[in-house]
Amino acid sequence: SFTVNTDNIKISNLNQSFTSETKNYFLVMDVGADVNSSTPDITFSLRTVDNLTFSGTPAFNDLTLSQTYSFEDVTAPSVTNTLFSPSALNKQSVGSETFEIEITFSEAMNPSVVPVVSFPTTEEDASSILTPTASSGWSASNTVYTVVYDVSDQNVEYNVDISISGAEDTSGNSQITYSETDAF
């Protein structure tokens, strides 16, 4: 039995058992949590001898059999950072496209799915002073979504909570809902 480590994939307990009529190979792969669809495929190959069978059929006169393993991304993305600009709203913030929320995700996201940004504060309704604009959008790498708002003056003072949900990564995994109390 031996072990092969390649980046974030560990292949272990590779061994063969011999009987008078069979040779069995066993492959166990321990795949790290950070493995996803962008992880390069891994190919496992064996030299064909003595009628070796493997999942797949070798080409005629091919001396090796191989199997390629691809990895599916099943990890839900998450919000890793929020940046509010300006960090607090006041009379000087009133106007067109004067407030932004920059949302950073843990991985590349599907740009056709827009995250839902809401303000679940029970006593205060920030949506009455903040109106999202068409200037909102994804960064070139699709890891940052910036929401741009028009700000109106309602002569109120709020400590605003924020909730971000509904975005999906490029593999279709829904994001983990993000909540922050008294965000701005």
Judgement on whether residues 17 and 87 belong to the same structural domain of the protein: no
Read off the tokens for 17.
């058992």
Domain that holds residue 30: 2-69
Are residues 83 and 110 both part of a single domain?
yes
Check if the beta carbon of residue 77 is closer than 8 Å to that of residue 105: yes
Distance of CA 65 to the CA centre of its chain: 34
Give the pLDDT confidence score for residue 52 in this predicted structure: 44
What tokens appear for 81 in the block?
Answer: 């950072």
Last residue of a domain, one of 69, 89, 110: 69
Last-in-domain residue among 69, 93, 127 = 69
- pTM of the model as a whole: 0.65
Q: Which of 44, 69, 94 is the C-terminal boundary of a domain?
A: 69
Residue 17 included in any domain: yes
CATH classification at residue 165: 2.60.40
Q: Are residues 84 and 46 in the same domain?
A: no
Question: Please, how many CA atoms are within 13 Å of residue 12, restricted to the half-sphere of its CB?
Answer: 6
Query: Are 169 and 85 found together in one domain?
Result: yes
Q: Are residues 123 and 149 in the same domain?
A: yes
Strand ranges for 51-132 from DSSP E:
64-69, 79-85, 95-105, 116-118, 130-132
Half-sphere exposure (CA, 13 Å, Cβ side) for 172?
1
Whether 164 and 113 map to the same domain: the answer is yes
Q: Is residue 152 part of a domain?
A: yes
**Do 61 and 107 share a domain, yes or no?**
no
Are 60 and 131 in the same domain?
no
- Same domain? For 12 and 98 the reply is no
Question: How far, CA to CA in Å, does 115 sit from each of 63, 84, 94, 174?
Answer: 51, 16, 24, 10
Number of folded domains in the chain?
2
Tens of each residue's pLDDT in the chain, 184 residues: 455 555 555 655 555 554 445 445 555 555 566 666 666 666 655 554 444 444 444 444 444 445 565 567 888 999 999 999 999 888 888 999 999 999 999 999 999 999 999 998 777 778 888 999 999 999 999 999 999 999 998 887 778 899 999 999 999 999 999 999 888 8
pLDDT computed for residue 98 by the predictor: 95
- Judgement on whether residues 142 and 91 belong to the same structural domain of the protein: yes
Domain identity same for 48 and 118 = no
pLDDT for 151? 94
d(CA 182, CA 160): 5
